[in-house]
Amino acid sequence: MNNEFVFVGIAIVVGIISIVLSLVAIHNKKLSVAIIAAGIVSLFASVLYLLMAAPDVAMTEASIGSGLSTLIFFYVLNKIKRSDA
């Protein structure tokens, strides 16, 4: 019972942090900050999946959501910046 309480506590904290970071990702003027915030949201989502006993989904989310897509966003951001200037 005590263990379950800790799980719910971690889940609530992680959920609140992800909501705050998603708002940062939407409202921040600097695109690089927004990309990093979106990547961290994915990382916290993978923690939530792990808490809900879905390690397979958590691995996919951590490697693709917060790893590869963040990287690809940065590549695209760099490409767009240079062509605008």
Which residues lie near another protein (CB under 8 A)? 55-56, 58-60, 63-64, 67-68, 71-72, 75-76, 78-79, 82-83
Show the tokens assigned to 75: 């590549």
User: Smallest distance, Å, CB 45 to another protein?
Assistant: 15
User: Smallest distance, Å, CB 9 to another protein?
Assistant: 21
Q: Are 23 and 41 in contact (CB under 8 A)?
A: no
Residues 6+ apart with CB under 8 A from 57: 46, 49
CA pair distance 4, 42, nearest whole angstrom: 23
Beta carbon nearer to another protein, 17 or 27: 27
User: Smallest distance, Å, CB 72 to another protein?
Assistant: 6
